[in-house]
Structure formats: structure tokens, C-alpha cells
Amino acid sequence: MADLTVKLGKLKFINPVLPAAGPNVMRLEQMLEAVERGAGGIVTKTVSREPAVYPKPCISKGPCDGLLNCETWSDRPWRSYIDDYVKVKETGVPLICSIGYSPEDVAELGKALEAEVGPDVVEFSTHYVGKTLDPLKRVAEALRGSVSCPVWMKVSPSTPNIPEMAKVMSDYVDGFVAVNSVGPALDFDIDKPKPRLGTEDGHGWLSGPAITGVALYAVYQISHSQDKPVVGVGGIRTGEDAVKFIMAGASLVGICSEAIRRGTGIYGKIASEISDWMDRKGYGSLDDIRGLYAPVEAGDSR
């Protein structure tokens, strides 16, 4: 049987499949069920110092079998999650707490969460931070200065120069998560041409298999621009999808849209499918397939 263990520094994951931050990990029950049903670790719903207020409905089907959402960070006060995080931490799987967004937000939240919960990693979202390097560096520096645990940066797919960003930000963070949802985006029913989401004009952010190609290329670019680990996120539905991300350079993968559709059992199912595929192909460990994807070189007959 293939070895699905992933070691990142002092952290050990029993398999590479995690929830990605989103409504699939909004409640304690979802996080605990994810652990029970095979997730290799838990990433929490993103919180900030002030609860979010977002229009309803906030999730709808989108184009190309994707999902549209106008959700932001959690609409719960961040302190209401402390007991939830402690209970997840007690399961023994790595706990990655997702926070945002300003330097002030992440400094306060990072310090408090490390003191009261002790997460294994703190992930910060860049969704509302900006596209240029200076604001990204300010947020990363603020968080890095407030915690001693590893820091991961979740990358926006609209980042103008992803390889340059990865090279620069690798001096400030311990890993990357790629990518966040894509947008703004729009979809509607031509038989009822009205907004599907609660935003004024119906726009939202696109996730699911519709963005897989974008996410794969970002993972490839980041993993080939610097040496820090990458978590691949974007439309993964099967073990073979996950294998593709690992071949592009990912150490771990995150699942959100498919978990919304199919529930918490999807994490263990995808992990089992990775193992089955590797056994069929004769691969013994994830290290054997990580980074296998390579461009065609001059003179290659492929």
C-alpha cells in the first residue's frame, strides 16, 4: 500500500488531503467529521477581528460545474471559535487556522490564537489585501512577528506575477496555498435571467472544477520559483485530480467545493483514491510523484 504520509518540518500529515478554508468548515461538527472521515489535517474557516456581513443567498451553482459565492470571512465573532479549535486540536491532526486581513488583524489574531489554541500553522488570506508586493509583505511581517508557528499565505489567482511574488514572499512565509476563488464572475439561468446571488448585480467568485487549470498553473509556478511547500486548491474532485496537483509540485491539497456538494466523506475518499492509483501504477510514496510534471525540452520527441 502506498505511503501517503506528508512531513513538513515538524508537522506530520497522515495523508495530503485537507479541507480548504470555506463554509465546509464553518461548524465544529464539520471539522470533527472531516477528521473522523479521513482528512489528513484541518484548515478552519477564515476569521477576522470583525464578523463579516454578506448578502444572502451567498452560494449558488456556477458555470462549468463550478460554484459561485459572495461569501467572505466568517460571520461569527472569532472568539466564538476558540473552543472549537481546541477540540479539533485534541484530535491530534494538524490544525491550520485561517485568518485575515490587515496587518493589525493578523497580528492580533495570530498572537491570541497561538496563546489560547496553539495551532500548528496560521494561514492568512490575501483576498482583500491587494495585488502588489508591499501590502502582502506588510501583512506577512505583522503575522510573522506575532507567532512562532509556521505561516502560510493563501494566494489570489489575480496576482499579476505569481513567480515573482513567490520568490519575494518565500522570505516571509513558510508555505503557500494556491489558489483562492476566481472572479468577479457571473452566471444565471436564461429562462429566468435574474441574479443567483444576493449581491446587487448577482456577481460572485468562482470555485470548483471551472478553476482547476488556473490553480494547477499557479501551483506549478510557485513550486518551481522557490522551495517552500505548496498546498494545491481548486476544483479537486477525485484522487486523480489530487495526483495532478502533486505532480505539479503540491505537497498537500485542499478541498472545498466538492465537500460542499458531497459532504465530509470526500476527504477520505480522495485519499483512498490517491492510494489506489499509486498502487496500480507502482508508486510507493508521494515523494515519487511530486513534481513529476515537466515542460517538454528542446529535442524531446513527445
Alpha-carbon distances, residue 159 vs 33, 130, 142, 178 (angstroms): 34, 9, 20, 11
Choose among 220, 213, 287, 286: nearest CA to 248: 220
CA 270 from centroid of its chain's CA atoms: 16
Buried b (16+ CB within 10 A) or exposed e, 242-259: bbbbbbbbbbbbbbbbbb
Find where cell 479539533 sits: 88
Percentage of residues of the chain with pLDDT beyond 70: 98
Average pLDDT over every residue of 83-93: 98
| pLDDT band, residue 299 (cuts 50/70/90) | low
Give the pLDDT score at 130. 82
The amino acid present at 204, given as its one-letter code, is G
Q: Enter the pTM of the model.
A: 0.96
Give the pLDDT score at 273. 98
Per-residue model confidence as pLDDT tens digits over 251-271: 999 999 999 999 999 999 999
Give the pLDDT score at 183. 94
Per-residue model confidence as pLDDT tens digits over 31-43: 999 999 999 999 9
Per-residue model confidence as pLDDT tens digits over 188-247: 999 999 999 999 999 999 999 999 999 999 999 999 999 999 999 999 999 999 999 999
Q: Is the pLDDT of residue 300 over 80?
A: no
- Domains of the chain, each with CATH number or no CATH: 6-53+72-184+208-288 (3.20.20.70)
**Residue 267 exposed, middle or buried by CB count within 10 Å (0-12, 13-18, 19+):** buried
Give the pLDDT score at 301. 52
Dist. CA 258–CA 202, nearest whole Å: 22
Choose among 201, 203, 294: nearest CA to 247: 294
Give the pLDDT score at 302. 53
Give the pLDDT score at 295. 83
Find where cell 485537507 sits: 18
Give the pLDDT score at 294. 86
Choose among 194, 227, 258: nearest CA to 17: 258
Q: Is the pLDDT of residue 171 over 90?
A: yes
Average pLDDT over every residue of 268-293: 98
Average pLDDT, the chain: 96
Choose among 156, 55, 59: nearest CA to 101: 156
